[in-house]
Amino acid sequence: MRGEEKTGKKVRRGGGTKNRRARKAPGKSRRRDSFRQGRNLRSLRHRPASPSGAQKPRKLVPELTMTGRRPAAQERTGEWFERLVELQARLRAADGCPWDREQTHESLRTYLVEETYEVLAALDSGDDAKIAGELGDLLLQIVFHAQLAREAGRFDVAEVIERIHTKMVRRHPHVFGEAKAKTAAQVLKNWEQLKKEERQAENRGKRDTEGFFGPAKSAGPQNDSTGEGGEGSVLDGVPRTMPALLEAYQLTRRAANVGFDWENIEGVLEKMMEETEELRARLKEKNTNAESAEAQRTQSGIEEEIGDLLFVAVNVARFLGADPEIALKKANRKFAGRFREMERRAGRQGRKLSEMKIEEMEELWQEAKRQR
């Protein structure tokens, strides 16, 4: 019959009418592809068999009820995440990238820290393209570590996602449960209590004690004390391996979340003045004992007072809602910018800063401050 053309099992008449397969609902194929990708991601999970050969029962993940069609953006997210996971697995394959194949959890630590700081720099820039790019670099580090663990039969990226999903549901009982929290302060207080309960469960052996890089040490650096009645401390989980500024911030933030804090900023500033005076007293001791056997002990005391002063400075930042690490980073950049401007001004005079008197450098500094 003229004008008829068989297409699959359907017959198209008139030549200009699209077949039913082409008239399916928009997005249907993408939803089906997304489902297959999600299934593939779940199939990546490595679940070691029990000694008897049967798999261990799996604890169900709290499910959030979703109704209606999935938004196109959500499908796109799943599609690209799946591609990234598959890409990293391909790079680690026998015929993949030599550099990727050589990496270990330990060798990637530097890049993890580096990418984190680059994200912070991008956030400061306010450039959306930079922020998106640096967040992608940081996400790759997570996928990379998960791929290494999958190859070792320990866990995979699906378990990483499942764990954080489960944790977020568990730690938001005021959203997904019956608990009440009307303010952010109440949320933080509940959060710390829930974390404490989780650590207690771990200490009772309810969870595997295997560490990220192998069996956990018998006395971990962050668990050197217990709370009331032998219970875990709210400070547990703050590693000593953190940079000192960040460690101080985390310690005081956790203490403040359970109510151990100054009533107002004036109390913190008074504490800073107190620590400053104690440092002055130590300096007087140093001048008095400069030639005596007490000099070394006095120097140790000075270091201790400097530490106390820095610790209070961190509390000032925290109390005022500022991140001390970011605040100090900005101060560093400000100083560097002004100092370089001093160097440029001295250079225009045909001189170097090292050749100038302190009064001349101070003048250049004030000029740089006015410009920047």
What is the predicted pLDDT for the residue at 168?
92
pTM value? 0.52
Position 359 pLDDT exceeds 50: yes
Residue 16 lies in a domain: no
How many residues make up the chain in this entry?
372
Position 60 pLDDT exceeds 80: no
Q: How many domains does the chain have?
A: 4
Question: 160 and 86, same structural domain?
Answer: yes
Question: 243 and 122, same structural domain?
Answer: no
The span from the CA of 266 to the CA of 279, in Å, is: 20
174-to-148, 255, 259, 315 alpha-carbon distances in Å: 36, 22, 20, 29
What is the predicted pLDDT for the residue at 230?
52
Question: 138 and 92, same structural domain?
Answer: yes
Least confident span in 20-24, 313-317, 344-348: 20-24
Residue-by-residue DSSP string for 115-175: HHHHHHHHHHHT-HHHHHHHHHHHHHHHHHHHHHHHHTTS--HHHHHHHHHHHHHHT-HHH
For the stretch 114-160, pLDDT in tens is 898 899 889 988 999 999 999 999 999 999 999 999 999 999 999 99
Question: 260 and 351, same structural domain?
Answer: no
- Please count the CA atoms within 13 angstroms of the CA of 174 that sit on its side-chain side: 13
Question: Cβ distance 349 to 360 under 8 Å?
Answer: no
What is the predicted pLDDT for the residue at 299?
83
Containing structural domain, residue 311: 238-321
What is the predicted pLDDT for the residue at 68?
54
Residue 330 lies in a domain: yes
Position 345 pLDDT exceeds 60: yes
What is the predicted pLDDT for the residue at 19?
42
What is the predicted pLDDT for the residue at 349?
93
